[in-house]
Structures are given as structure tokens and as C-alpha cells.
């Protein structure tokens, strides 16, 4: 993406980090709109994708400045689409498995613009990245350590309510849907939350499952 962009990406000034991510995002959009994407994606697209995703996860998904985190989430979604034809589900899992939980937990952030940017980015990631649904489902259903973090629970549950009707449960290819057992285990745990909003969203998740598999939720 160029030395100037990379230097900005590692800058202490948040405006430079945001600017670098916007430049990378523009390059990725050019890649999926171009007939010759190799000019943008490099000679080894798989390595470029993994390096980019690991950099996003290690440095930017948990940035203290909301604008930078928003830009990083959007860049992940763009990368998923731009590199989709060049990477496998295993490549994507290796690149983002350790870091996507950072984004998922920020679905409960108090900043509404940050929440919405991440929500839209994760929708796009699920639809465009090879194996994206199962990777995201794993992060959303990750065991809860503190039920007192009700905003995090509500954020996760809200996205599940949106995604489960689209991608279904227990599809023949496991990377294309949610796993009923994992969804129910997470939702059931959320029933113990002291917060009514979190419990209410957990009920909606269960009802979304009932609409698909009926009495199997029992």
C-alpha cells in the first residue's frame, strides 16, 4: 500500500492512522472493482491479506480513538470482499480468529456511531469472507466471563438476531451457518443477566431459532 501509508498507520497521531486506513480502504475498493486486481493485491494476495488483518487486529481494532476503530472495521470488510477469490476459509480464520472478538465486544460500546460502523462491517464480513459466518458466529457465542457487562451481551445478541434468519442453523456446510447448540448455550447464559434489555434480546435470539428449527431448541 506504499511506505507513506504504512508510516501513517503506525503514527502516534490518530488522524494519520485514520487517514492511512481510508487510503487502504480505497485501494481495496479499487481492487474489487478492477478487472486486474493483482495490481492492487500484490504478487502474493494471501500473504498480503493475512498481514493486513493481523495488523488491524494487533494495533487498530482496540484503538483508543473511535474514528480509527471505525475505519479499521470498514477496512476489514473491504479486505474480505477484495481478497475473497484469493484466500480460503482457513486463511481467513488464521488471520482474524484471535482479534475479531475485539470488534464483536465493541458492539456494546456507548458510542452509537462506532456501534453502527462495526455492525455494518460485520454484516459485510459474514457475507463476503470465505468462512466468515462461522468465524463471526464463534466470536458472538464466545462464553461470557462477566454478565455485568450487559451492553456487550446486548450488542452481541442484537447482531445474532439480525444474522441468524439470514444464515440459518446447522447447515450441511458448517462454515455457512450458526450452530444451534452454541447459540442456545450463549442465549441461556444471558438469561441470568441482571439487565432486562439483555434478557429480552436473549429471548429474541431463542425465538429466531424457533422460527427455523422449531422444537429442536428444547
35 has a pLDDT exceeding 90: no
What's the average model confidence in pLDDT over 38-53? 84
pLDDT for 106 equals: 94
More confident residue, 151 or 30: 151
Closest CA to 87 of 102, 99, 76: 76
CA dihedral 168, 172, 175, 176 (to 10 degrees): -40
Mean of per-residue pLDDT scores for the chain: 92
More confident residue, 121 or 172: 121
Bin 67: left if φ > 0, else alpha if -120 < ψ < 50, else beta.
alpha
HEC string of 107-151 equals HHCCCHHHHHHHHHHHHHHHHHCCCHHHHHHHHHCCCCCCCCCHH
176 has a pLDDT exceeding 90: no
pLDDT for 129 equals: 94
- Structure confidence at residue 37 as a pLDDT band (50, 70, 90): low
- Structure confidence at residue 44 as a pLDDT band (50, 70, 90): confident
Chain segment 62-119, per-residue pLDDT in tens: 999 999 999 999 999 999 999 998 899 999 999 998 899 999 999 999 999 999 999 9
- Structure confidence at residue 39 as a pLDDT band (50, 70, 90): low
- Structure confidence at residue 30 as a pLDDT band (50, 70, 90): confident
Chain segment 123-148, per-residue pLDDT in tens: 999 999 999 999 999 999 998 888 88
pLDDT for 38 equals: 66
What's the average model confidence in pLDDT over 156-167? 96
Residue 176, C-beta contacts closer than 8 angstroms, at least 6 positions apart: 133, 134, 167, 168
Residues 122, 208: contact at Cβ < 8 Å? no
Counting residues of the chain whose pLDDT is more than 90, the rounded percentage is: 82
pLDDT for 33 equals: 78
More confident residue, 171 or 200: 200
Amino acid at each position: 500500500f506504499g511506505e507513506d501509508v504504512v508510516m501513517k498507520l503506525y503514527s502516534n497521531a490518530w488522524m494519520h492512522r485514520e487517514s492511512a486506513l481510508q487510503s487502504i480502504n480505497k485501494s481495496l475498493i479499487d481492487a474489487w472493482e478492477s478487472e486486474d486486481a493483482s495490481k492492487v493485491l500484490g504478487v502474493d494476495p494471501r500473504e498480503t491479506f493475512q498481514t493486513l488483518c493481523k495488523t488491524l487486529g494487533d494495533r487498530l481494532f482496540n484503538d483508543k480513538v473511535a474514528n480509527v476503530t471505525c475505519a479499521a472495521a470498514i477496512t476489514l470488510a473491504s479486505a474480505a470482499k477484495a481478497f475473497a477469490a484469493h484466500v480460503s476459509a482457513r486463511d481467513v480464520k488464521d488471520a482474524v480468529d484471535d482479534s475479531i472478538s475485539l470488534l464483536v465486544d465493541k458492539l456494546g460500546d456507548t458510542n452509537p456511531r462506532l456501534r453502527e460502523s462495526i455492525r455494518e462491517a460485520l454484516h459485510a464480513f459474514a457475507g463476503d469472507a470465505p468462512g466468515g459466518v462461522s468465524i463471526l458466529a464463534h466470536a458472538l457465542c464466545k462464553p461470557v466471563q462477566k454478565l455485568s457487562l450487559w451492553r456487550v451481551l446486548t450488542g452481541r445478541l442484537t447482531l445474532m438476531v439480525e444474522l441468524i434468519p439470514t444464515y440459518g442453523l446447522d447447515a450441511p456446510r458448517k462454515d455457512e451457518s450458526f450452530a444451534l447448540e452454541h447459540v442456545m448455550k450463549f442465549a441461556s447464559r444471558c438469561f441470568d443477566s441482571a439487565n432486562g434489555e439483555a434478557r429480552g434480546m436473549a429471548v429474541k435470539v431463542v425465538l429466531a431459532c424457533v422460527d427455523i428449527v422449531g422444537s429442536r431448541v428444547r
